[in-house]
Structure 1
Amino acid sequence: MAVEFPSDPVSIGPPSRYSSKMEKIQTYQEELRKKREDGGRYRTLNTNMMASSQKLNTLSQSPKMGIENPTFDREETLRMKSVHYSVYVSELNELLCSLQRVRYSLSDDAESAADVQVVMELLQQSEFQQAFSMHSSVSLGVRAINPPYPITARAQQLCHEVQNVLQFTKQKEGIELKALLTIPHFQALMEAHDCVAERELEPEFSLAQYGGETVKLVRLEKARDIPLGATVKNEHDCVMVSRVVKGGAADRSGLLSEGDEILEINGIPVRGKNINEVHDILSNMHGTLTFLLIPSSRHKVPTHRQTVMHVKAYFSYDPAEDPYLPCRELGLAFQKGDILHVLSQDDPNWWQAYKDGDDHSQRLAGLIPGKSFQQQRETLKKTVLDRNPENPGKPWYSKKIKKPRKKSFYSNPSRNQESYTEDVLTYEEMALYHQTGNRKRPIALIGPSNSGHDDLRQRLLSVEPDRFAGAVPHTTRTPRTHELNGREYHFVSRSNFEADVSTGKFIEFGEYERNLYGTSTDSVRQVVNSGRICVLCLHTRSLRALRSSNLKPYVIFITPPPQEQLRTLVSKEGKSLKHEDLKEMTEKAQEMEQNYGHLFDAVVVNSDEDMAFFELLRLIDKLDTQPQWVPSSWLC
């Protein structure tokens, strides 16, 4: 192949300049001569290649021997060889042309020109050209376009799920997408996609016969230091898949199922090994894992997307301290009061869940104790601990109750108490609720004596009387001269009061100086219906009756600071409280939080009156802007 290079017009000048130009011309002619020789050599190579092709044609006409490979196409192979040769010659010529230009531009630099000449001679050697030809062949194979690997063979099912989601949509994009998915041609395309995808996915779980059992070969990708998302158990000498955790690599692949027996992992036999040995094997592996399995013989029902259940935890859980956890790495730690999103309850003993507020990039679910399983464990623990170590057989909680000094209030025991009959608290199902603008949730302030919760209530009522109001209580005493019925109190007879108690109309009630006093749900509802926020100060025993009503209260626990800080705070305010009183206050707060903390929506530490008041306002304002988790039974 001859290659022409651009040249400048030759001008006659001084002798030295003329001789320089002549040298350039001679050099150029010499290069043209070499190019012609190279072109001839390439043509000879091409002729030899065509002769080889003729030999192949001659051989192909001879009688067939051996097994015919239907995937071999002679014409296609020769075409690919021709394309490869053309690419090879083109790339090599481009490189030589580039070096020629470089050498001409370096005519004044003898050393650089000599280096370029050495490189050109190297490129023209037969050994280099053979190596370059092999490199081009490998590169051509690497750059070959492969068909995309199917992600799923459930395109039709996914389309139906999307259609169900868009069934009642009113958005323009949703209506357009729904119309697109219902086109017959699109549905036929999805059906064809699934047929092809099923064939493409077959190599991932090829079936064979293994010792009389049908086995399958599964390949999964496992990242370093990230669990695979499946647990195993021993049944005699077999290693079985006990569960597949939502969001993990095993779950996303859809190739592992509960009940599958694992025979080998990357060629390592596991039959006869215990689960600890299998765990050690898997922990040291990452990348592509190949499992040889015996599929589960159980009848597999098509899986449907389960509804996520949201629960509030009424106990704290640390997986590191649970010896019964099937897989310590998959345990999900949480604190009392956390919201958990339960994805699977297939195993009643160990649920799969996410914790609200966790990083959304964490796709692998965690294991938490199931409700019934945790109740059994807590009941057994309570049976052991609820006995006085000094007096065996005597309940630990049997203490002498102090006689109340002034008023004695009692929560209503007959108002929908069946939801609180559980002695062991585990989880409560929750749902998001956003209060409406004209029906505000009542605020219940709870706290021990001298914690300041009553002072905070009075401050709310005095600062914003148009926004906050108190419920008018009921009483059986005689009204005083300045009191009006329905303003200071609802004055009723004793018989009517007792009738209302029996029908469960009171949140709390009690007797003081032979007169009955109480706060009814109707008086709270009257404030709610007026559009204002009802602020209550209640005893902890009254919370159950309040929560059993349909008032949807927001409970805030006002707790004193730690005892040392409380002593400093009291001394600064000039109050005189004995050490025993301070100790009793802090201990009472701890007891209230221990026994009733699961009913609190928020906690405010009253270490500074102004800071506690503004924090209280912030929590109340948040109810208008953010939805809150409430028991799902409230929304039924």
Structure 2
Amino acid sequence: MPVTLPLKPWGFFHPDEKRDHQERIDIQNLVASLAELQHRLSAKDEDVSFLRHFLRSKDIQLLLRVFNKVSSYASLQLGASSDSAVSTGVSVYNTLRKHKHKPHVDELREIMAKPHFQALLYTHDKVACRDYEPKLFSLPHEVNEAEEAVKVVRIIKNEEPLGATIQRNEKKQSLEIARILRGGAADRSGLVHVGDEICEVNGTNVQGCDPKEVVQLLAKFSGPVTLKLFPADNNKGIMRESKIRLRALFDYDPFDDPIIPCPEAGLSFQKGDVLQIVSQEDPLWWQARKEGDSNLRAGLIPGKQLQERRTSSLLNGLRKEILGRPLLSDPRYSDASFHKNSTGHLSPCRISPQIPKSKKLKKTMYHVTQNQVYDSEEIITYEEVQLYYPKPEFPRPIVLVGPHGVGRNELKRRLMSSNTDKFQEVVPYTTRLKKPHELDGRDYHFVSRDEMEKGILLNRFVEYGEYKGNLYGSSIDSIKCVINSGKVCVLTPHTQALKFLRTADIKPYVIFIAPPSFEVLKNTRIEKNARHTVNDVPQPFTDEELQKMITTAKKMSIRYGHFFDKIIVNGQIEQAIKDLAHVVELVGKEPQYLPANWVQY
């Protein structure tokens, strides 16, 4: 029979709608009475204003509506009709087995035999019996003989550490919580605080134990862990999470660190990893997570102050062991190696660098006079970074560095020839005379010696040198000119030039071209008939020169590895150019973490 009457005639309200309507009226009456209440109670205007906004907020009204919904269902006193669904299911299944060769019966029997259906029946019985796990009993508030308050904390701990480090208080001769690791089980509970004294762990008295013994005891338990604690005298409050991101400039393994409070609580990382710093409250041991890691628990890492302190104590021994001798004792940098130019005064370019387009250079030493302030071995630990989104109109320069003979210039040539409209190299400066076939600004920028020396003294050149009485160099302005043109600038400077290139207005992407193993290096160079110039004569590489290339690459990685954004091994040149082209493509599209002062520039 068709329905002719409206389902909701005017004046009729659903019980829930009536209740909601009444709630709105009650709130309006309460807001209206605030003025009278203020007069009676002599309340402050700001308190009344806060209550008025609070009661009128949408969140409060929605919260009241949810409360009434839950209350209405609770009043129905719903419950399971039976707590033996599993046994009933078994009985029904056995009955169905007697009726064979009937499609509907077979289908029902197949459904009841599935583990998911059986698990559903099992869960029904557990809920009906209120058999919940783990069983959390009410915990009494205890008072010891000295009338000290004791709190009993129960933490649900899975296959994970407790998320707290423990130390011994020598003054009190007690075990205390030294720090709470963000995201760990102790932090999630919100009940354990720094300074709390540990008395018992799952009923075992740990007073007088060594912290390592307690850590081992906690590691044995999984599930509920009950801690009996004497609360700390002063609560340090909620630890606020930091927003700082740092790039690690060294490798770290907590299990190789003899002074870390708890290796299990440490966070291992490698050079180049970006770390989210969670807490720096302890200047010696920071808490951090790896950027992008799904694990919410923070780990301990050495603070900048601690890492610098112990690195400085090992620096001289490391330099002597790996680099052979202190940098400034190199005879190339002694006063005896400096010479005067033809005009009779001391030239600022005393050592010749690798200069673009100079295939006849006999020596390619980088001039370090203006770099001596940097070359005193910096102590490197962390670098603050921020996420940078590529700007197509100002592409980042691609800088290829590596040992002599590794193939940087060949990779550069192939990359640039792959797209001449996209890539461009820097036109160098020189003081030599222009040849008939050369054009100023295309082959070189031809300038006077006085003009170039003035620019050198003003630090306008990334690298420079002197060859056969003429100065050569690459200027910072030339690099910026390529960047502003919208093209990708490709450079192959000496590694020491990185200290001038790594600035906010250039933002280079540094790729280290590394040699492969000795066997692969030798075979590939023989296969490609590779040559290098010695005394203006092209010659094949000797075994000693190939081994020197590998050794030099290791030294470069040790001294300048914290500047490298990517490492490409140049074994097979075809694969290396593919890797290089792929990296360059990503640099122009994907966001990268750069030094914070670069992003803010």
**Partner of residue 418, structure 2:** 463
**Partner of residue 622, structure 1:** 586
Q: Does the residue aligned with 1:315 lie in a helix, a strand or coil?
A: coil
- Please give the residue correspondences for 1:308-323 in structure 2 after superposition, counting only pairs within 5 Å: 308-323=243-258
**Aligned counterparts of 1:398 and 1:508: Cα–Cα separation in 2:** 22
**Partner of residue 344, structure 1:** 279
1:609 counterpart (558, 573, 577): 573
Count of matched residue positions in the alignment of Structure 1 and Structure 2: 453
- Larger helix share, 1 or 2: 1
Gaps of 5+ in 2: 1-74, 100-123, 338-351, 353-361, 531-539
1:577 counterpart (537, 541, 561): 541
CA contact (8 A) 1:409 1:511 kept: no
Q: Does 1:264 align with 2:200?
A: yes
Q: Does the residue aligned with 2:588 lie in a helix, a strand or coil?
A: helix
After TM superposition, the runs of 4+ consecutive aligned structure 1 residues lying more than 6 A away are 138-141, 201-205
Q: Does the residue aligned with 1:625 lie in a helix, a strand or coil?
A: coil
**Aligned counterparts of 1:610 and 1:340: Cα–Cα separation in 2:** 35
Per the alignment, do residues 213 and 526 of structure 1 end up closer, same or farther by CA in structure 2, a change over 3 Å counting? Answer: same
Per the alignment, do residues 245 and 388 of structure 1 end up closer, same or farther by CA in structure 2, a change over 3 Å counting? Answer: closer
Per the alignment, do residues 211 and 469 of structure 1 end up closer, same or farther by CA in structure 2, a change over 3 Å counting? Answer: same
Q: Which amino acid aligns with 1:313?
A: A
Q: Deviation digits for residues 54-87 of structure 1, max 9, x if unmatched?
A: xxxxxxxxxxxxxxxxxxxxxxxxxx9x999x97
**Partner of residue 42, structure 1:** none
CA contact (8 A) 1:341 1:353 kept: yes
2:557 counterpart (589, 593, 597): 593
**Partner of residue 239, structure 1:** 175
Q: CA deviation at 1:250?
A: 0.3
**Partner of residue 253, structure 1:** 189
Q: Does the residue aligned with 1:523 lie in a helix, a strand or coil?
A: helix
**Aligned counterparts of 2:237 and 2:427: Cα–Cα separation in 1:** 59
**Partner of residue 163, structure 2:** 229
**Aligned counterparts of 2:150 and 2:186: Cα–Cα separation in 1:** 18
CA contact (8 A) 2:149 2:230 kept: yes
Which is further off, 446-455 or 330-339?
330-339
CA contact (8 A) 2:521 2:546 kept: yes
- Please give the residue correspondences for 1:440-589 in structure 2 after superposition, counting only pairs within 5 Å: 440-548=395-503, 550-575=505-530, 576-589=540-553
Q: Does the residue aligned with 1:219 lie in a helix, a strand or coil?
A: strand
Q: CA deviation at 1:511?
A: 1.4
Q: Does the residue aligned with 1:499 lie in a helix, a strand or coil?
A: helix
1:430 counterpart (372, 378, 385): 385
Q: CA deviation at 1:558?
A: 1.2
CA contact (8 A) 1:205 1:255 kept: no
Which is further off, 275-284 or 530-539?
275-284
Q: Does 1:365 align with 2:298?
A: yes
Per the alignment, do residues 568 and 386 of structure 1 end up closer, same or farther by CA in structure 2, a change over 3 Å counting? Answer: closer
Give the root-mean-square deviation of aligned CA atoms. Answer: 3.7
- Please give the residue correspondences for 1:196-215 in structure 2 after superposition, counting only pairs within 5 Å: 206=141, 208=143, 211-215=146-150
Q: Deviation digits for residues 149-200 of structure 1, max 9, x if unmatched?
A: 9xxxxxxxxxxxxxxxxxxxxxxxxxxxxxxxxxxxxxxxxxxxxxxxxxxx
CA contact (8 A) 2:504 2:599 kept: no
Q: Does the residue aligned with 1:456 lie in a helix, a strand or coil?
A: helix
**Aligned counterparts of 2:441 and 2:140: Cα–Cα separation in 1:** 77
TM-score normalized with structure 1 length: 0.65
**Aligned counterparts of 1:292 and 1:313: Cα–Cα separation in 2:** 39
**Aligned counterparts of 2:460 and 2:267: Cα–Cα separation in 1:** 42
Q: CA deviation at 1:326?
A: 1.1
Q: Which amino acid aligns with 1:608?
A: Q
2:315 counterpart (382, 390, 394): 382
Q: CA deviation at 1:309?
A: 2.0
Q: Deviation digits for residues 408-466 of structure 1, max 9, x if unmatched?
A: 44368379x78x97722111111221211111101111121111111121222333111
**Aligned counterparts of 1:388 and 1:556: Cα–Cα separation in 2:** 26
Q: CA deviation at 1:388?
A: 7.4
Per the alignment, do residues 532 and 383 of structure 1 end up closer, same or farther by CA in structure 2, a change over 3 Å counting? Answer: closer
**Aligned counterparts of 2:575 and 2:318: Cα–Cα separation in 1:** 40
Q: CA deviation at 1:555?
A: 0.7
**Aligned counterparts of 2:140 and 2:553: Cα–Cα separation in 1:** 60
Q: CA deviation at 1:526?
A: 0.8
Q: Does 1:284 align with 2:198?
A: no
**Aligned counterparts of 2:529 and 2:125: Cα–Cα separation in 1:** 87
**Aligned counterparts of 1:457 and 1:211: Cα–Cα separation in 2:** 78
TM-score normalized with structure 2 length: 0.68
Q: Which amino acid aligns with 1:323?
A: P
Q: CA deviation at 1:634?
A: 0.8
Which is further off, 205-214 or 487-496?
205-214
Bigger Rg, which one: 1
Per the alignment, do residues 351 and 140 of structure 1 end up closer, same or farther by CA in structure 2, a change over 3 Å counting? Answer: closer
**Partner of residue 367, structure 2:** 410
Per the alignment, do residues 529 and 395 of structure 1 end up closer, same or farther by CA in structure 2, a change over 3 Å counting? Answer: closer
Q: Deviation digits for residues 351-390 of structure 1, max 9, x if unmatched?
A: 22222454x1x2222211111101111111224455579x
Per the alignment, do residues 581 and 314 of structure 1 end up closer, same or farther by CA in structure 2, a change over 3 Å counting? Answer: same
Which is further off, 240-249 or 210-219?
210-219
Q: CA deviation at 1:302?
A: 4.4
**Aligned counterparts of 1:411 and 1:395: Cα–Cα separation in 2:** 15
**Aligned counterparts of 2:244 and 2:523: Cα–Cα separation in 1:** 46
Q: CA deviation at 1:238?
A: 0.1
Q: Deviation digits for residues 254-276 of structure 1, max 9, x if unmatched?
A: 11111111111222222211112
Q: Does the residue aligned with 1:264 lie in a helix, a strand or coil?
A: strand
**Aligned counterparts of 2:522 and 2:321: Cα–Cα separation in 1:** 32
Q: Deviation digits for residues 185-232 of structure 1, max 9, x if unmatched?
A: xxxxxxxxxxxxxxxx996794645523222121111114x2111110
Gaps of 5+ in 1: 1-79, 107-137, 150-200
Per the alignment, do residues 87 and 440 of structure 1 end up closer, same or farther by CA in structure 2, a change over 3 Å counting? Answer: closer
Q: Which amino acid aligns with 2:296?
A: R
Q: Which amino acid aligns with 1:255?
A: L
**Partner of residue 135, structure 1:** none
**Aligned counterparts of 2:461 and 2:288: Cα–Cα separation in 1:** 39
**Aligned counterparts of 2:277 and 2:78: Cα–Cα separation in 1:** 58
**Aligned counterparts of 2:126 and 2:414: Cα–Cα separation in 1:** 81
Q: Does the residue aligned with 1:293 lie in a helix, a strand or coil?
A: strand
Q: Which amino acid aligns with 1:292?
A: K
Q: Does the residue aligned with 2:261 lie in a helix, a strand or coil?
A: coil
Q: Deviation digits for residues 278-303 of structure 1, max 9, x if unmatched?
A: 12321222222221211111253444
Per the alignment, do residues 347 and 336 of structure 1 end up closer, same or farther by CA in structure 2, a change over 3 Å counting? Answer: same
CA contact (8 A) 2:427 2:445 kept: yes
**Partner of residue 54, structure 2:** none
Q: Does the residue aligned with 1:343 lie in a helix, a strand or coil?
A: strand
Q: CA deviation at 1:333?
A: 1.7
Per the alignment, do residues 411 and 436 of structure 1 end up closer, same or farther by CA in structure 2, a change over 3 Å counting? Answer: farther
Per the alignment, do residues 231 and 87 of structure 1 end up closer, same or farther by CA in structure 2, a change over 3 Å counting? Answer: closer
